[in-house]
Amino acid sequence: MKGRVPKVSVVNICAICLPPRGMIISLVPNSLALSLIPVHPLTIMKMNRFFENAILLFLVQVALGAVAHGQKDNDQDFAEQRLKVMTYNIKFASPTFEPSWSVRRDWQVDMINEYAPDIIGTQEGLKGQIDFLMDELTDYVVVGEGRKGGDADEHMAIFFKRDKFRLREMGTFQLSETPEILGSGPEVNPRIVTWARLAIINRPPDGEDGRYPENYRGHWSDTQEFYVFNTHFFTGRSGYNMAKLNSAKLIMERINAFDRFGEWTKDRPVFLVGDFNARPGGDVYRIFVGDEESDDPLLLKDSSQPGQGIDWILYKGNVEVLSFEKVDYNVNGVYPSDHKPVVAEFQLIER
């Protein structure tokens, strides 16, 4: 058929390259043309064996080169699919807390730059604090709003690296009977969740061509997306136990609403971070992750095994935990917050 390119296998290549039986290839020096001349059968057998070995050696070298190049690409893809996630209650700028925000803010910036997380979920940050971190952490984009809407009150901000991720979608909902009304719930210290859908930016290394031409309009099927949820639960004071349990149920409903409908949709992992003011093994924790006998695929997993503290990084989807650390960052024994940041590194798995 016109315009159709036939498939060529290694066997076909060998058949094309080898001369007919009883002949060998001769190169005419003056014309640089190929000709066929008769040769003794024993010589032909040796020559054919020589050609076969030479051609097979050439094909093996080509294949190994392709494998090595593919391995390089796979190693790069593997590195690109790693995510380092941090949750950090930075402590609001209280006038009674020591050291003051004007002192400890630079420590927080230094700590974040040292650990270089890809994603950071912060709690308790007031507008001025979030603005300062945004100005100093120039590798990051920040999204989120105050828990009474706009710039008012504490923010549950999400920072993400600008050169690694593209923001696809974001939102905020209240932990109350009316989640869509910001500021609803208790009059003092209402609670919210900030969430974002992010996509990993597929960018070829400098000097190398990408997988698609610049004018490509199709669907980048290999673009990996994921969700990040960040929250700060009600305190442990009596009278808030019911609110915390219902908050956990509400968050699980919102997370599960994002589950893919069918196998044809690519899996989007979910990361839930925050200060939960609850302990592992308790009622709130079990709503999120169940217990040892739970087999519900909709439940989350804890990046720390066993769970610890009240600052958690929970997850679900095709990811594996590579490492977990409760960061003991301090300056001469003085800490930049009343919470220690928690960091977990994940590997996104293609399935």
Dist CA 138 CA 310 (whole Å): 29
Dist CA 237 CA 131 (whole Å): 30
> What six digits make up the tokens of 339?
């919470």
Higher pLDDT, 45 or 256: 256
Q: Residue 187 burial by CB count (10 A; 0-12/13-18/19+): exposed, middle or buried?
A: exposed
**pLDDT value at 284 more than 60:** yes
- Band of residue 350 on the pLDDT scale cut at 50, 70, 90: confident
Task: Check if the beta carbon of residue 286 is closer than 8 Å to that of residue 98.
Answer: no
Candidate from 10-14, 263-267, 285-289 with smallest mean pLDDT: 10-14
**Mean pLDDT for all residues in the chain:** 84
- Rounded average pLDDT over 204-220: 69
**pLDDT value at 321 more than 60:** yes
Q: What is the pLDDT of residue 47?
A: 57
Query: Nearest CA to 346 among 260, 273, 294?
Result: 273
Share of the chain above pLDDT 70, in %: 73
**pLDDT value at 308 more than 60:** yes
**pLDDT value at 152 more than 60:** yes
Laid out side by side, the sheet with 311-316 consists of 165-174, 192-200, 225-232, 270-275, 311-316, 301-302
Candidate from 55-69, 90-104, 295-309, 335-349 with smallest mean pLDDT: 55-69
Maximal C-alpha separation, the chain: 102
Question: What are the tens digits of pLDDT across the range 213-258?
Answer: 777 776 655 689 999 999 999 987 767 899 999 999 999 999 999 9
Task: Check if the beta carbon of residue 146 is closer than 8 Å to that of residue 124.
Answer: no
- Band of residue 1 on the pLDDT scale cut at 50, 70, 90: very low
Half-sphere exposure of 221 (CA within 13 A, CB side): 4
What the chain holds in terms of domains, given with CATH numbers, is: 10-72 (no CATH), 81-210+217-348 (3.60.10.10)
